[in-house]
Structure 1
Amino acid sequence: METKKEILAEFKRLGFSLIDENKVFGSITFGEISIEVTICIDQDFPFKAPIIFLETISGKKELYKNIPYKWRHLDEWVLSQNPRDSKFTICCLHNWVPQGKNNARFICDRIYSWLKSNITETWDPEEDLPTSKIIPKQATVARLILSNEFIESCMKELKPKEKKLYKLIHSKYKFKGTGATSRNGVISNKYALDDIDFNNPYIYFFSDDRETKSTCLDYLINIKSDGGFNHADCLVIRLPSWARFKTLYQLLEYLRVNEYITSKLVRKYNNLPIVVIFRGDKGRTEVVSFLCDKEILNQNGSMKVQMISIDTIPKRQPEIGLNVGLIGVGSLGSNVARLLVNKGVKTLYMSDHDMLKPENLGGHILPSMFLYANKADAVANYLMHHLVKETEIYSGNNDEEVFEKADLLVVTVGDNEAFNKLAFNKLQNYKKPIIWAWVSPHNIIHKMVITSQKTGCLNCFFLLEKKNETLRQINEKVNEELSKLDISYIDLCGNPHTVSFPERMADFAAKIVATISLYAKTKRFEFDYLVEYWDVNTSIPKIFTGLLNVQDECGCEGKGREN
């Protein structure tokens, strides 16, 4: 691989001019079209790809208005509030890796190929990676958070060429010079764009965007904004598929010429947020957002625009289309609950009769702010405020309600008496699948047993453990290991606490959720029991699985299934 010095020398041999120790300037021609480019090679070369700035097209320098509408794989860098100041970079070094062939000749060939593809409108599939029609890459800390659902609702409500004012909510503005903030709850369209300090971060979201509203309000509370925010009218425009533009300047000109933005509309605002929805590259829906003032209508004016970056919350289809019930929301159960919600379970019902105590902190997913709250209610509260909210969550201490509403039940109760009461009384004749899961002190052994009308019962598994040579040997080894360890420690108040390892608990919870996920897709389990054994000096457990048939000594009503 060439060094930086060597590649600069090679560019000179190819006819490029050396601007300084980091840049070369030259031209590339295809047919009658010639472009001039500046290639920047910084100190991180060859590990970082060179940046290629487009300077002119056939001698024309005002690229903001002269770039052809159909040109692709070109990024715009909005350097100020004036879109005429934009710079443009060519995206032709996809999947750059530091290797010998990536020399000056290779880079020139890639630029030539990019130019040829844009002129002929024919792209090599390997070069034609997903792109966007307009990507203003301004370094802005103003961010609009959108959900795909809200964009889809706008597409349904607005026909092409239509526009509408929506209500926007955003964090309070800070003003240049004084550092003062906007008053809580005011309509912020009254503030002059020049007075707002955009060196400070702001987030924007639509009041009708149900998917993002709670997330953004949580953020405002987290940054200690005193819950303060402003409202603003925001113009949402849906452009027709035939709208022609490539750069931000061309888009603004299109909006002005086609009277999407009129003097009647903007004269009552000192600043107006605008969101434009349009058909982008290969027919994909794209969105761009910015703040403008009255000067946007002045053809000879500065056309002042403050870009707003767009972050989206993707639409997630529940990956586990089941109503899952969780009995016991301790260290293991809380990890299962978190993963189920992250994975996208349809509905989660939780029940626990215990409260979160100081001894639970560390192994449990809950922080100390939930001390002495019911575990199920606290976990539900935590998950609804910290994770994506497609899952409906219900909680409390009503086991029977969970039994009734769940399609599949997970029992992770740690108390032996409560566990036995469920196994041999309340759930003895339960018709739906149950995943029973428990762990030993020090997490030396984890056991997951799945019972249903097609398997033996939990007692059948305990009988199988005595007859199956492998399972019996594992249990004997575990008992031997535990006899050497303190399975609990005594605190200052004389209370015993079981020793456990949170990383092993999380690993076991992941296996439980993976089992549920597969069942949701196939309506079958690939095993009836899983036993994993952690040797004292290993980081990876040994795993044993098998099927659970009805044991003759049990006499339960399970049908069992053939091996």
Structure 2
Amino acid sequence: MNPLDELVAHARQGFEEALIRVGFVAQHNHWNGTIAHGETCTKIALTLPPGFPFVPPRVKPAVDDPVPWSWHRELDGALCLVAEDDHHDLWWANTSVFLAHVQAWFENSDAGWVDDRPDLDLERYFRPSTDPRLYLYGELGQYDNAFVRFRPEPNNLMRLSGRGTRPAKTTRKFRDKFGYVADLGFVDRPPRGWADIEARIDPSVDLERQIRDHHLTVLVLTYSRGQHEAAIVLDVFSNEDGGVSVRRLRSAADTPQARSARSGPQAAELGRFSVAVIGVGAIGSFVADLLVRAGVRRLTLVDHDLVTPGNLVRHLVGPEGVGLAKPIAVKNHLTRSNTIAAARITTREVHLTSTDEALALLTGHDLIVNATADFAVTALLHAAAASIGTRIISAALQNGGATFRVDVLPPLDGQPTLAPSAIQPRRDTGPDCYEAGCGSPISPTPPHAVAEAAAATVRHAVGLLLRQPIHPAGEIRHLNAEPTAAA
């Protein structure tokens, strides 16, 4: 037996021995026992799945009827005991801890799930459809109680394209699907099938007949929990028993809110600011991308260089950008990838050299990020910022990618500027590599160093924009330094 098998066997044996000590009895593939809660007791069947202890035990009431159906039951009636954000360790492998958790579940159920969090996971209560496509929808309020049309798109997508009903005649090549949007309102307990759904929607619309006649094959249900709203897309069809079967389809919202929900809590505030990125090569291109993803919605990109094939390994853009000016290539990528309007991005294909240009950029933006790694440009922007009482952020990689530095210039609160970066020993990368058009060797900086430097730069930029600076002068980090243990 290998060490992993020994670990799994030991965990299972220890859990089962603890079950026996508290009165559980083995029966076939599960364990029968009793959980006391309040003034009553409930018999349960506990199963250790094959993946235990890396998968939590499953618990079902021995008799289903006395246990109220709620959002905290699985489709098969099992208790929903472990949420995704409870996976901080394998706490469920401790029998007493797990049984206490089961007891707390019953006590919360008895109390009616007071202060229940509004998880929007109605998909859990329907079996999956065999249709593998992803169904996308936008703002659904305009389609409430309306028949709608889904059209196929590349990447195995079906997109809600507007109102519509199935035409009387279609060809074999016809691939559109037709559905209906209904509002369930506030859902205190999840529906589990067609009967539950039908009881909650407008009875004046005979959806069952539409389904039997194959005019309707998709049902979009909107619902709410707490202050939150969501939707689920279902595959509906008549079955052999004369009823209606319901299966969940893969679906997702394609709305501005959905595209920005993971940007962080500061995204809305960051949308008020304008930022100029000077130098959109390796670091600067990723800085621009991360700023947009964080919520910044007004951007100016400045660079005089073109994208070449050799740039791609350390640059944001792909082969489609080769030959374009770097600001144009980055703008194209951002507008395709991050849903920022092209009109929100200004591009300037220039090399920054004059004080007038520097002052215009500084006065026209809330922040300048200098990623040129050009000392002359950095000095120009630093001097210009100091002259009008503002500041810039300057980012650069040094020591062949072994060090990055992010400078706040001038530093806040009269602090001194960061000291020069120490020379860090480099691993032997072999002889220097040169290419045509370059007067110096190609930098051995690895792509991951570029990503780290860009992330740190944006962290400092966001801090300055929100007046919550990370450090008054910036930071220097040696990426090849020995890690130190946390105190």
| Corresponding residue for residue 282 of structure 2 | 331
* Residues 538 and 115 of structure 1: CA distance in aligned 2, closer, same or farther (over 3 Å): closer
Sequence identity, in percent? 17
CA contact (8 A) 1:93 1:110 kept: no
Partner Cα separation in structure 2 for residue 486 and residue 7 of structure 1:
55
| Corresponding residue for residue 108 of structure 2 | 117
Given residue 135 of structure 2, which amino acid in structure 1 is its aligned partner?
A: L
| Corresponding residue for residue 544 of structure 1 | none
The structural deviation recorded for 1:409 is 1.7
Given residue 345 of structure 2, which amino acid in structure 1 is its aligned partner?
A: I
- Please state whether the residue corresponding to 1:138 is helix, strand or coil: coil
352-361 or 303-312, larger mean C-alpha shift: 303-312
Given residue 538 of structure 1, which amino acid in structure 2 is its aligned partner?
A: A
The structural deviation recorded for 1:339 is 2.0
Partner Cα separation in structure 2 for residue 245 and residue 262 of structure 1:
20
The C-alpha deviation readout for 1:260-283, integer Å capped at 9, x for no partner, is: 543565566444211111233x46
Partner Cα separation in structure 2 for residue 258 and residue 507 of structure 1:
57
Choose the corresponding residue for 1:247, options 167, 170, 192. 192
The structural deviation recorded for 1:143 is 3.4
Matched, 1:165 2:156: no
The C-alpha deviation readout for 1:439-494, integer Å capped at 9, x for no partner, is: 445246655554579999xxxx9xx88xxxx94xx47x65x989x99996433788
Partner Cα separation in structure 1 for residue 413 and residue 17 of structure 2:
74
**Alignment root-mean-square deviation, CA:** 4.8
Which one has a bigger Cα radius of gyration?
A: 1
Choose the corresponding residue for 2:302, options 351, 376, 383. 351
* Residues 205 and 15 of structure 1: CA distance in aligned 2, closer, same or farther (over 3 Å): farther
* Residues 166 and 432 of structure 1: CA distance in aligned 2, closer, same or farther (over 3 Å): farther
Given residue 392 of structure 2, which amino acid in structure 1 is its aligned partner?
A: I
The C-alpha deviation readout for 1:189-210, integer Å capped at 9, x for no partner, is: xxxxxxxxxxxx95433337xx
Partner Cα separation in structure 2 for residue 447 and residue 98 of structure 1:
39
The normalised TM-score by structure 1 is 0.62
CA contact (8 A) 2:281 2:326 kept: yes
Choose the corresponding residue for 2:476, options 532, 547, 553. 532
Partner Cα separation in structure 2 for residue 309 and residue 408 of structure 1:
41
Partner Cα separation in structure 2 for residue 262 and residue 234 of structure 1:
10
Structure possessing the higher relative contact order (Cα contacts under 8 Å, 6 or more residues apart): 1
Aligned pairs (5 A) from 1:127-146:
131-132=119-120, 134=122, 135-136=124-125, 138-140=127-129, 141-146=132-137
Partner Cα separation in structure 2 for residue 442 and residue 32 of structure 1:
70
| Residue segments in structure 1 that go unaligned for 5+ positions in a row | 60-66, 77-86, 173-200, 209-227, 542-563
* Residues 438 and 307 of structure 1: CA distance in aligned 2, closer, same or farther (over 3 Å): closer
Given residue 346 of structure 2, which amino acid in structure 1 is its aligned partner?
A: Y
Partner Cα separation in structure 2 for residue 248 and residue 292 of structure 1:
10
Aligned pair count reads: 441
Partner Cα separation in structure 1 for residue 371 and residue 121 of structure 2:
51
Partner Cα separation in structure 2 for residue 254 and residue 290 of structure 1:
16
CA contact (8 A) 1:245 1:254 kept: no
Given residue 366 of structure 2, which amino acid in structure 1 is its aligned partner?
A: D
The structural deviation recorded for 1:326 is 1.2
| Corresponding residue for residue 58 of structure 2 | 51
Matched, 1:102 2:94: yes
| Corresponding residue for residue 207 of structure 1 | 161
| Corresponding residue for residue 12 of structure 2 | 4
The structural deviation recorded for 1:285 is 2.7
* Residues 357 and 24 of structure 1: CA distance in aligned 2, closer, same or farther (over 3 Å): same
The structural deviation recorded for 1:247 is 2.5
| Corresponding residue for residue 30 of structure 2 | 23
CA contact (8 A) 2:193 2:246 kept: no
The C-alpha deviation readout for 1:362-397, integer Å capped at 9, x for no partner, is: 332333342222111111222333346489433342
Partner Cα separation in structure 2 for residue 248 and residue 436 of structure 1:
58
* Residues 170 and 115 of structure 1: CA distance in aligned 2, closer, same or farther (over 3 Å): farther
Given residue 394 of structure 1, which amino acid in structure 2 is its aligned partner?
A: T
The structural deviation recorded for 1:520 is 1.6
| Corresponding residue for residue 386 of structure 1 | 337
* Residues 258 and 245 of structure 1: CA distance in aligned 2, closer, same or farther (over 3 Å): farther
Partner Cα separation in structure 2 for residue 58 and residue 393 of structure 1:
60
* Residues 488 and 235 of structure 1: CA distance in aligned 2, closer, same or farther (over 3 Å): same
Partner Cα separation in structure 2 for residue 353 and residue 114 of structure 1:
63
| Corresponding residue for residue 547 of structure 1 | none
Matched, 1:496 2:440: yes
CA contact (8 A) 1:342 1:388 kept: no
- Please state whether the residue corresponding to 1:234 is helix, strand or coil: strand
* Residues 404 and 269 of structure 1: CA distance in aligned 2, closer, same or farther (over 3 Å): farther
Matched, 1:91 2:34: no
CA contact (8 A) 1:326 1:402 kept: no
* Residues 351 and 385 of structure 1: CA distance in aligned 2, closer, same or farther (over 3 Å): same
